[in-house]
Structure 1
Amino acid sequence: MHHANHYYGHSHVLARYCGLDDADPPRIHGYLQHGWNIGDGMAPDHEYVPGVAKFVWSERVRRRAWSLGRREVYVTGAPWAYLLAMEPPAGEPREGTIWYPFHGWEGQHIVGDHDGLIGEIRDTETGPVTVCLYWQEFRDKRVRALYERAGFRVICHGYRGGWWKDLDPGFLLRQLTEQRRHSRVASNRLCSAVLYGTLAGCEPAVYGDPMRLEGEQSAFGGQARIAREWGRMHGPSIDAAYARELAVAELGADRLLPPPELRRLFRWPSPQQDPALEATGASPR
């Protein structure tokens, strides 16, 4: 299994949906899109073996991949959408905003003005604010302290994982639990977290200095294209009906596959054939 298929516990969520052992997911025979992007669904810094299946979130991404010469591309929907299907809301009250500052990753750090962004958040949000930092920024005491001194609750959903290490099967569930506690979801860039929150019932917002990555490359048109093509998803207040319709389309929430079909695409066994379950005598959830 390509190590990126484990990011954020994606393979674990899909194994659970398919009735298999979500503590030790079977190998996905192909590449799974692991984040919202404006290209072909695949991370540009990864190498891919020609002819190996690619599993993308939406029909829109599949068409872009096809136009770029990708073949063996299948629409499966985002793991987040499957998680929501398995975890219906409990109807608990919501309050405030969960805010996701644009973050770096293990290979690139963020360049931007956190103080300026904090000022914009204070000027815009009227309720309590939870700032969710990526683990890299959360571990940076200087960055974390900036948001804590501003009076915000500061959290981290966990590790993304990588190269089969620091895997975090509970990442998405923690993210969903937090988002369902809040009325709004916001970021300084349109991103997976904003689309996730919209699908989970939050009012979305995208505003503030978008910041940048060190040595950032504007792949597939970059921020200029995002602002142009997804312009209606930017601002401190966004039309909720439009945002939800877009989130459903971008996350493929209207394209979820039944467990047998998903298992067939991934070349996964049926639950009664899962050797891990047979060995322990456990039954799939």
Structure 2
Amino acid sequence: MHHANHYYGHSHVLARYCGLDDADPPRIQGYLQHGWNIGDGMAPDHEYVPGVAKFVWSERVRRRAWSLGRREVYVTGAPWAYLVAMTPDPGARREGTIWYPFHGWEGQHIVGDHDSLIAEIRDTETGPVTVCLYWQEFRDKRVRALYERAGFRVISHGYRGGWWKDLDPGFLYRQLAEQRRHSRVASNRLSSAIMYGTLAGCEPAVYGDPMQLEGEKSAFGGQARIVREWPEMHGKQLDLSHARALATAELGADRLLPPAELRRLFQWPSLREDPDFELTGVLTR
């Protein structure tokens, strides 16, 4: 299995949905999109073997991949959408905002002014604020202290994993639980976290200095294209019905496959039960 298929516990969530062992998911025979993507669904820094199946979240991404010459591309929906479908909202009272500053990754760090971002958050949000940092920034005591001194609750959802190490099957579960505690989700860039929070029932917002990655390259048009193509998803107060429709489409939440079909695409083992088996409590289409 390509190591990126394990990011954020994606393979574990999908194995559970398919009725298989989510502690030791089978090998996915192909490449699974692992983040909201304005390109062909695949990370531009990874190498891919021609002819191997690619599993993307949405029809929009599938069409773009096809236009770029990618073949063997299938829409499966995002693992997050399956998790939301499998996890009924407890209906607890929501309060405040969960805020996701744009983050770096293991190969690139963030360059930006956290102080000005903190000031804008304090001027905008009226309820309690939870700031969720990527593990890299969370481990940086200087960065973490900036948000803590501002009076924010500061957390991290954990490690995404990489190269079959530091795997964290509970990552998305913690993220969903945290988002369902909050009434708003916000970030300084339109991102997976915004799409996830919107699908999980939060009101989204995108504002503040978008910051930069060290040596950031504008793949597929980069941040400028995101602002240009999705202007209605930028601002401190967004049209909620439009945002939810967009998140549903971008995450393929309206395209979820039955467990038997997903197992067939991934070349996972069939269950002994009826081939039309549906996992109890799971929404299937």
- TM-score category, normalised to shorter length: over 0.9
Distance 1:224 1:209 in 2: 13
Counterparts of 1:209 and 1:159 in 2: how far apart (Å)?
Answer: 25
Aligned residue number for residue 127 of structure 1: 127
Instruction: Output the amino acid matched with 2:39.
Output: G
- After the TM superposition, which residues 210-221 of structure 1 pair with which residues of structure 2 at under 5 Å, given as runs? 210-221=210-221
Could you say which residue in structure 1 is the equivalent of 2:87?
Answer: 87
| Alignment match, 2:103 | 103
Matched with 1:160 is: 160
Distance 2:243 2:86 in 1: 22
Q: CA deviation at 1:272?
A: 3.8
Secondary structure at the aligned position of 2:167 is classed as: coil
| SS in structure 1 of the partner of residue 154 of structure 2 | strand
**Equivalent AA in structure 2 for residue 145 of structure 1:** A
**3-state secondary structure, aligned to 1:185:** strand
Deviation at 1:270, TM superposition (A): 1.6
SS at match of 1:226: helix
CA deviation string 1:91-113 (max 9, x = no partner) = 10000000000000000000000
SS in 2 for 1:127: coil
Q: 1:31-180 residue pairs with structure 2 within 5 A?
A: 31-180=31-180
2:16 aligned with 1:16: yes
In the alignment, the residues of structure 2 paired with residue 90 and residue 100 of structure 1 have an alpha-carbon distance, to the nearest angstrom, of 23
User: How far did residue 122 of structure 1 move?
Assistant: 0.3
The 1-side partners of 2:270 and 2:153 are apart by: 43
SS at match of 2:227: helix
TM-score, normalised to structure 1's length?
0.95
Structure 1 CA distance, aligned partners of 2:182 and 2:85? Answer: 19
Q: Which residue of 1 aligns with 2:278?
A: none
What is the RMSD computed on CA atoms of the aligned residues? 1.0
**CA offset digits 1:11-68 (Å, max 9, x no partner):** 0000000000000000000000000010000000000000000000000000000000
Is 1:28 paired with 2:28? Answer: yes
Q: Would you say how many aligned residue pairs link Structure 1 and Structure 2?
A: 274
Partner Cα distance (2:141, 2:37) in 1 = 29
- Secondary structure (helix, strand or coil) at the match of 1:131 reads strand
> What is the CA–CA distance in structure 2 between the aligned matches of 1:9 and 1:270, rounded to whole Å?
21
Distance in 1 (CA, whole Å) between partners of 2:262 and 2:32 is: 12
What SS does structure 2 have at the residue aligned with 1:119?
A: helix
Per the normalisation by structure 2, the TM-score is 0.95
Distance 1:201 1:187 in 2: 16
Off by >6 Å, runs of 4+ in structure 1? none
The answer on 1:267 being equivalent to 2:274 is no
2:190 is matched with which residue? 190
SS at match of 2:99: strand
Q: Quote the residue 1:278 is aligned against.
A: none
CA distance in 1, matches of 2:271, 2:221: 43
